[in-house]
Structure 1
């Protein structure tokens, strides 16, 4: 499936990079004094893990809804740069929310960011992009003061009515991912205190990443967002109100096909919007 009128190779690779933000992994700028292991080799492994994970859902007969809670992740084989599948049963990894490349790109150079991570979940997985913050709002510190956790600082910040409009939506999602540091590594403490990874999504409370993934998997907006992301990629442009009929057509086929990614890509390719996306050259 080409992206835009000209078409291009590696559609599957590029779609994953655009949708999940894997293209941004190479540009992660974690502070080397705090995260000395964040080098080019690690960032390449992060990107390859995400691409391999996505590829599994194209090649295997499984629902793409399991992108959120698959019980495995990828690690390089010892002495090799290639990624192999590793099962997980401790709730720390598995699914896109447990991938270091996703977590690190939605962080700052010196610390995690519940705001950025909440924004990533809403925008990338549910297509519910939050509004920008109001002008003049004071930003959180780039480093957490000694003796405090980022959650404590963030909760004080959102007590300001001017900040609450954004933070009340984003923070309760991002807090659920606080067990991952700014480089995507698992942690049990933040600044010496136990991590509080309780969160809330649309009135439903959860504990830690796996419970958040379960809630998101059950939200119909996730599957429809995949439809929108794939259609926008295939058309090579942002969707408009005129595309809503096509979204419904593709989404229906995607659902009827067991939410398998190959069925989604075929549905996009067969849609009128995709087939008519380029003007027909005039006859000579």
Structure 2
């Protein structure tokens, strides 16, 4: 056997005995890196993690009474709404700003030139976002239960509703965040470009202001986006039948919630595939 054949056989045995890590394994490793980097950035933590918690404490301190004709307090209503805002903050805002920064500082370009599969980068990002979102929901629920008499559901069906609203909501929001990461022209403008519309969306999606106080044209605009439906789904879980009377249609419309959130998940994927760029504009 000549030297070339021997080298080929040796390489084949090595590849067989030491297979390359799977995309999921590489994504998990990348997720650990992304999570450490996230918690080291104070601005990122404030905007995507602490912001909803701070708002809940502030609004809970200002508005402490019950809603007229309802056993539900204003603080409980805010808790349910801010859970939806927290999930979208951790996914849409976190990914949109983080990927824009990675693109601008050359991280994406360098990763594209390494053996790391491109899909592993997104797996790492999404796993990190999932962890942050779960932590944020847990803390918001703990504050709601401890300080605002929020009652956790005991029926399995309501927790099933929570699960699919969370999964569909975070999927659509994450994909939308990846898509809009191409909008900022630089890392410096990323926070303003992505955070400003998200803050506006919270005010028109029933997070801070009840729909009964909004003009009809704003309600129609908010109904086009996933945040309104995420908050509605979470209200059905944590406010129960008593909260349904507060909705515009006197119903949580969970079938419509599922349909629109699923549509955003599909639409977000299409936007990602058609708009995502690995290079910044200055790289051509």
Q: Which has the higher contact order (CA 8 A, sep 6+)?
A: 2
Q: TM-score, normalised by structure 2?
A: 0.33
- Is the helix fraction higher in 1 or 2? 2
TM-score (norm 1): 0.33
* More strand by percentage: 1
